[in-house]
Amino acid sequence: MSTFDNGTGKISASDFSELILPKQGKTRNEVKTGPAFGVDTAVIDLGNNQGLAVSSDPLSLIPTLGLKESAWLSVQLLVNDMATTGFAPMYGQFVLNLPPDLTKSDFEEYWHYIHHFCREAGVSITGGHTCQIEGQNSTISGGGTMFLTAPLDQIITSDGAEPGDKILMTKESALISTSILAQSFPNTVKKELGEPVYETACKNFYRTSVLKDALIAADCLRPKKELKAMHDVTEGGILGAISEMAEASKCGFRVQSDRISAGNAQKKVAKLFKLDHKQIVGAGSMIMVVKAGTEKNLITRLEDEGIAAAVVGEFTEPDSGFTLLENGDEKNYQFDGNDPYWGAFFKAFKAGWD
């Protein structure tokens, strides 16, 4: 019996192309951006230069984190996807498949925070479905979809990069993954790395929104002309996000490894779990693709608002491939859709780390 290429996590580009891409239901001309590997949002033409952007993501319910933290993660990852359009989300639908042992009081707390974080982001909850399911032992408790409407000609998608465009990243790499690892295995992290590293990693959890980053960029640069594309950093980290954008945009890229910034806490936690901070889930950083010559203006504007940003590379012609410059060497980089974070988490769990 054949299996998916990855085994766990998001399916690979090859499986996506083979299994999903050829079967998209009815073809409708008003769908301007549909399913594509590495593309965060769909865009539908509503007429009169109005567009509807739609994006879906799993919802999290992770006991080792807590109910508030799980709700933050559930809402914020959806908001981050929407932010890649250059606009803020407006509406949300939530489908919750809850474990049968979740108490009514725990659900009440979880849903309170879903409501709270949606309200903070300006999102009106418009419906969904809620049930308890026997055998639901996963940390994925269902899925959510968010929507927004905006001028069609200003909605950005992650497949808009062109050769010569500069690649920027905001904040730092591995913010969310190293934070979850620290919170899930607190005693081990404190013992091996010390209390200050543990505390910093935990605090990074609430640095994972990129809505402000995106809205500043969309206000600073002209959408689609100067601000070409954006992608929030999820599976595969910084390099995975850039690879997905390159594949979606039919470009190559050239990235300098030493320009991918990470805080001391992320580096140390990642090393403890034998992970590369550049290649693990990195919600909190936004990859922005801008027309060459506009990058300094955007970096200055972001830094004025307290958001660190740096150019890490550029997109190239498709036949040049994916190139990573590391320690003076040029390496061919390929992202298979697999994020080693998941394996490291479950390995530590099975090993009894606490």
Residue range 110-123: mean pLDDT, rounded? 98
Q: Is the pLDDT of residue 5 over 70?
A: no
| Model confidence pLDDT, tens digit, residues 328-344 | 899 999 887 789 998 99
* Per-residue pLDDT tens digits for 236-250: 999 999 999 999 999
pLDDT digits (tens, 9 = 90+) for 199-221: 999 999 999 999 999 999 999 99
In a domain, 4, yes or no: no
Average confidence (pLDDT) over 60-77: 93
Tell me the residue range of the domain where 86 lies.
Answer: 13-154
Residue 274 lies in a domain: yes
Span 43-53, average pLDDT: 98
**What is the pTM for the complete model shown?**
0.95
Q: Does 124 map to a domain?
A: yes
Q: Which one of 154, 189, 207 terminates a domain?
A: 154
Task: Measure the CA–CA gap between 268 and 184, rounded to whole angstroms.
Answer: 16
Predicted pLDDT of residue 328 = 85
253 and 301 fall within a common domain: yes
In a domain, 82, yes or no: yes
* Predicted local confidence at residue 14, as pLDDT: 85
Averaged pLDDT, 31-45 = 93
Across all residues in the chain, what is the average pLDDT?
Answer: 95
